[in-house]
Amino acid sequence: MRAPVSVREFEAAARERLDPAHYDYFAGGAGEEVTLRANEAAFGRLALLPRVLRGTDKPELGVTLPGGSASMPVLVAPTAFHRLADPEGERATARAAAATETIMMLSMASTVALEDVAAAAPGARLWFQLYVQPDLAFTKTLVRRAEAAGCRALVVTVDSPVLGSRLRDERNGFHDLPDGLCCENMRDGDRVRPLEFSPTISWEHVGRLIELTSLPVVLKGVLHPEDAGTALDLGVSGLIVSNHGGRQLDTVPATVDVLPEIAAAVAGAVPVLLDGGVRSGTDVLKALALGAAAVAVGRPVVWGLGADGERGAVRVLELLRAQIEEALALCGAASVHDLGPGLVRRVPPC
């Protein structure tokens, strides 16, 4: 079979190989999936307005963030359960991130323990994603483990005081990992703790985490500009505009539609990242033009992994890099740092 040439084709290739219930877990969103669809559709309603006669040889793609640098403005978003997509699971993803010199946000719900992921991919730039557990002592243990394993930032997911309803999982009866797989970071002595959400999570928890760790703390899941302001006042090192890939509260806006407001509220004080619906290099340019310092991709990397393991994940990331380079050249931009709102026009839906 010919190699996939787009993220969409990687999805199709992964779909052929994955158990249908697992494919649905990865692909699906919350509720009627209004937000899931909106994330991608919103990029489609933005057009690029290129400049001409500004040729350069080699565009600059690298970005520097509080948790280190990346060779391109595309990071790996934290996604759970990679061993459902490939036997090597998060080890393979981390090696792919290392090979492409980008940052991988490792999900707390990984099916390989964070220490094993770090050991399997020595060059990987890992940020650890945390769901604050109601047991704060165990939460602290996780933070210390992430620090000890060399993670360079703590990504605190704040859009999940409870889990959103995923109707595909309900229909498929997918509620537990198959035998032999578990959330390896939740091992505690002889038992594996259930991963819990914290319905009472508050700004106080974020403040305590910032005090607890020397790592930069990045908040993931901010959509309201007032929350962005509160986060800045508390001293976070970065924000990720995210609706969890449409998997939490359904009918929230597409991330790229709220990005300009958040970027305005933050006014350059800390880097603002975006995830949700990024499927191509042109999507990346649009997000950067509207104020993102970088984007993260969730499902695209899972599709690469599901299609062809580590090699597939590398190919998805390299495909996005090549598409960014092409789009920069065709937009007359020499660097990912040269992009501004003038590059983007809103077009009516077809």
Ligand X SMILES: CC(C)CC(=O)C(=O)O
Residues assigned a catalytic role: 244
Binders of ligand FMN among residues 19 to 48 (CB under 6 A) are 26, 39
Q: For the purposes of burial, counting CB atoms within 10 Å of the CB of 170, is it exposed (0-12), middle (13-18) or buried (19 or more)?
A: exposed
Instruction: Report how far apart, in Å, the C-alpha atoms of 310 and of each of 8, 14, 88, 306 are.
Output: 18, 13, 8, 9
The contact mask relative to ligand FMN for 116-155 (x = CB under 6 A, - = no) is -------------x--------------------------
Other CB atoms closer than 10 Å to residue 190's CB: what's the count?
Answer: 5
User: 237's torsion region: left (phi>0), alpha (psi -120 to 50) or beta?
Assistant: alpha
Instruction: Report how far apart, in Å, the C-alpha atoms of 68 and of each of 104, 236, 273, 311 are.
Output: 11, 15, 14, 24
Pairwise CA distance, residues 268 & 264, whole Å: 8
Number of residues that bind ligand X (CB under 6 A): 6
* Nearer Cβ to ligand FMN (39/213): 39
Q: Least distance in Å: CB of 247 to ligand FMN? A: 6
Q: Least distance in Å: CB of 195 to ligand X? A: 6
Pairwise CA distance, residues 61 & 49, whole Å: 20
- Beta strand pairing call for 103-106 and 125-130: parallel
The partner in contact with residue 277, picked from ligand X, ligand FMN, none with C-beta cut-offs of 5 to 8 angstroms by kind, is ligand FMN
**Residue 77 touching ligand FMN (CB under 6 A):** yes
Q: Least distance in Å: CB of 125 to ligand FMN? A: 17
Closest by CA to 303, choosing from 7, 93, 28, is: 7
Pairwise CA distance, residues 235 & 157, whole Å: 16
Binders of ligand X among residues 100 to 129 (CB under 6 A) are 109
Q: Measure the CA angle with vertex 18, ends 13 and 20; round to 5°.
A: 115
Pairwise CA distance, residues 83 & 93, whole Å: 10
The partner in contact with residue 152, picked from ligand X, ligand FMN, none with C-beta cut-offs of 5 to 8 angstroms by kind, is none
Quick one: which of 83, 125, 299, 321 contacts ligand FMN (CB under 6 A)?
A: 299
Find the helix or strand (DSSP H, E) in which 265 lies: helix 255-266
The partner in contact with residue 129, picked from ligand FMN, ligand X, none with C-beta cut-offs of 5 to 8 angstroms by kind, is ligand FMN
Q: Least distance in Å: CB of 26 to ligand X? A: 9
Q: Least distance in Å: CB of 188 to ligand X? A: 17
The contact mask relative to ligand X for 49-88 (x = CB under 6 A, - = no) is -------------------------------x--------
User: 176's torsion region: left (phi>0), alpha (psi -120 to 50) or beta?
Assistant: beta
**Residue 30 touching ligand X (CB under 6 A):** no
The contact mask relative to ligand X for 235-274 (x = CB under 6 A, - = no) is ---------x--x---------------------------
Binding residues for ligand FMN (CB under 6 A): 26, 39, 77-80, 107, 109, 129, 157, 220, 242, 244-245, 247, 275-278, 297-299
Q: Would you tell me which residues interact with ligand X (CB under 6 A)?
A: 80, 109, 163, 195, 244, 247
